Structure 1
Amino acid sequence: MSTPRSALQHQISRAPARALIERVAAGGPGAGTLAILTGPVGSGKSSVVRDVLANLPGFQGVHAAVLPWESDRPGSLLEHVAVKTGAASAEALKEASLLDSGPGGVPSPAAIAGLGTSLARHIDIPGAATVIVVDDAHNADAASLRQLAGMTRRFLHGRIAVILACDELGGAADDELLTLSGIADVLTAVPPLQVSEVRELVYATVGAPIDAAAAVALRRITGGWPGRIQEVLQAAPADHWRTPDPTIPLPAAWATSLRGRLAPLSDGVRRIAEAVAIFDRGGPVHLVRDLAEDPEGECLDDAVAAGLLRVTSRPGGSTVDFTVPMDRAVLLAELPPARRGRLHRKAAARLAEAGDDVGALNQRAHAADGPDAELSGELAAHGRATGGLGHWR
């Protein structure tokens, strides 16, 4: 099932794009803007930067995508940008690299600096305005990033903006991007879609409306990231979403990815992940360790070190949750029903002991495997109480 690009672009939160457009357009001659746009895979960074390029009339737009294997070759991104702007030809760069190279046959620092100077001279002219967008900047070589960032501080005549779109400051250029974030004029992140936006995206993609409950479930499973929502929509025929209360299919690639990341880790790490999975929005660190029988926290440490989980400090205690939201849905789908029930019941008991009646009630509801008049009554009473306070969600 194909998705029109216009549908995706329409649903990306336009706040980051609007902020970038306004900042870049406001600059005068000799002005430069360095912006860093972050978001996880599937968040829609590419759509945001396309919106920026499309809404800056009078600017020369240069869109450069970086490939993972280019990070080890200094100057590779800069060469790509120089060719796209017309500052240098591909053949000339090839000959220059061969003539002036450092150890291993890669361009020397002097050659890279010279290319940066040539690029700056080509676009720093009166009346010129240039926007250079680097997609997947976390894969870029550090030398190129430094040259491009430097241009935003050295122009005299033209206007320039360099926008670096990256995966939450991760990857080969992590240290360089962290350094550049300290001098960036704009630091912005792509936010997840809201429930109303999820419903609009589903309708634009499959031509079928879904109710708020289905949109909430879809947002919870995917983290609200458009690319991940598209993966779910493509995991079932379009007619599936026209049925009342459609189930949320899980793409097979999600399970494959999680199994690959869990394979080199211990069984204790999987138990920690399963314990986290029973909480809708992450669980208290001490309770997760209790549920997973990890008294010393070693398995939790391993899970965090592997990038599977992240710990967040909050007033009153720390919580732990998945770095990839989809992992929760995969683990819950694979968790044997009896073990899942035991985890929910144990969590309910511990939360009740701690005085968290609402949390305990939620865990008891998840543990229920059949009609329970007492539980139903408590849930109804809780619903009336929260509704009376204006808490409708």
Structure 2
Amino acid sequence: MRVLVALPDAGRFAARLRAAGIEVVATTSPRELASDAAGSALAGELARADVLVLPADRSVLTPALVASCDRFDTRIVARCRRDADRRLAESLGLAAVGQDVDAVAAVNALPRAHTAPARGRAIAVWGPAGAPGRTTVSIELARELARDGRRVGLADADTHAPSLALALGVADEGPGLAAACRQAGRGELTPAELTRIAVPLGDVEVLPGINRPGRWPELSADRLERAVDVARDWVDDLILDVSASLERDEEIVSDLDGPRRNAATLAALTAADLVVAVVAADPVGVSRFLRSYPDLRSAVGATPVRVVVNKLRGGPLGIDARGQVRRSLERYAGIERCWFVPWDPRAADAALLAARPIGEGAARGAIPAAVRRLVGEAVSPPGPNDAARRSRTSSRKRRAERHAAVTATAP
């Protein structure tokens, strides 16, 4: 086996390989490898090497480099410092090892049989007109799912009033979901390409929507369905923030096979494995939801729907606001169970001002706690492997908190 090493500690890594009788064809730095992403200057070394060892960093581990290694039949081992690095390597179909793994063990990780991961699911977040909080719920859902170590994508499929990029402080001039749909229409979209065009926001990969409502024809039904299908091999959970309109008026007025304004919403709801329906906790919001709910059920068919009552407070509903909403939903829509998210304007305003999820600035606040309960009970109930994963995540957080406390008190 011949190995090309491109690591910050390439000398020490190569020495360990040579001591074990493994041939090292060359060593280089990640910076030099990144500047030669296409592999033109390193073509000779790549052609002679069986394995390339490099750090799992977006500046180094690019689709162009992966394509060059495929051309030379050179396999890649990516050393990962964080969970996000491991997700990047796995999305490209590469062998991922920890930063502290021995050099010989890292190279020997390749012969193991690769088992295809289970396909991910799509979760559509819908709500009637009137700003019930679809985008806020989408963001908090994505953050909460990512806390358990899941690979999470967040896409803005709203063709009427896209707001995900603005709420998260992400530039909406980039490729985003529209570019993914265009490539899906040509049959060229891959999980690696989704990783390239997505904007990483912590542990969540964000696909911003269109930056002008007039671009809605780019999100056609066929393109979006294909993009969602590819995304199932990209992330464990894809959260789709969709618009309120469910009408099919264009199909009634014209029988021509042209673009439909609400096609993206209907396609996302049809392709979703789970729908989260958001209700604003006031008389107008509940009334709008009850009138639109039959159309939603008609669009999604047998797909499970989880109803979230957002912005719950006693002001517009009086005494026992929770009970009044629950009884109204059960009586007029047959909804026997729903989940409640309280109204916390201070935390919501602070998050919007800082362009970040509410849970990042107030992790123990009322809204993150309610979303945590929603995820645990209705969206992603604990499975047999979740307890160990959550324990590892909690242990890392406790160590980080202790380290921060010691650093803050150090002289």
Higher strand proportion = 2
TM-score by length of 2: 0.27
Q: Look at both structures and tell me which one has the larger radius of gyration over its CA atoms.
A: 1
TM-score by length of 1: 0.28
Higher helix proportion = 1
